[in-house]
Amino acid sequence: MKFASTRLIAKDIRAMVAFYEMVTDLAADWLAPVFAEIVTPSGTLAIGAVETVALWQEGAAEPGHNRTAILEFQVADIDAEYARLKDKVPLVHDLKTMPWGNRTFQFRDPEGTAVSLYMPVSEAAIRRFGGR
């Protein structure tokens, strides 16, 4: 089995795609007017318009109701990313180092999903994720 992507369902797909293009500095691939993907070296963030939910089953997903997942992106320079984004995103928390060795900050996307950017800083985290 191969983990392929994480998909977000959006009320306003254009705003969500533009937000993640700004955060990742990557252009989305629009595969349909109601579906786009942002492909990173390690995984894909798929964004579907709310209209796509009915293709599976009506009510199977609801935009704006996620409070269980946090999307995480590893970056090379957490301080530079924080400086670039801190005034452009609604921050959940400022820069801090977590007990497992990652330096991180967290914010929310336009529909409320938590997003963290992180950089491994402890020796154990650097070994686990690579870095420096």
Give the pLDDT band (50/70/90) at residue 3: confident
72 and 117 fall within a common domain:
yes
- Among 65, 84, 118, the domain-final residue is 65
57 and 115 fall within a common domain:
no
Closest by Cα among 72, 13, 3 to 37: 13
In this prediction, residue 131 carries a pLDDT of: 56
pTM, two decimals, is 0.89
94 and 130 fall within a common domain:
yes
Question: Residues 60, 72, 31, 64: is their CA dihedral positive or negative?
Answer: positive
Question: Residues 115, 19, 86, 78: is their CA dihedral positive or negative?
Answer: positive
74 and 84 fall within a common domain:
yes
What is the DSSP pairing of strand 102-108 with strand 114-120? antiparallel
1 and 61 fall within a common domain:
yes
Provide the domain limits for residue 49. Answer: 1-65
CATH code: domain of residue 109 = 3.10.180.10
What tens digit of pLDDT does each residue of 6-26 get?
Answer: 999 999 999 999 999 999 999
| In the chain, % of residues over pLDDT 70 | 97
56 and 91 fall within a common domain:
no
**Domain total in the chain:** 2
Rounded Cα distance, 90 and 23, in Å: 12
- Among 65, 95, 110, the domain-final residue is 65
Q: List the structure tokens of 30.
A: 């629009």
78 and 18 fall within a common domain:
no
CATH code: domain of residue 61 = 3.30.720.120
- Among 41, 65, 89, the domain-final residue is 65
Q: What's the whole-number average pLDDT of the chain?
A: 92
In this prediction, residue 63 carries a pLDDT of: 80
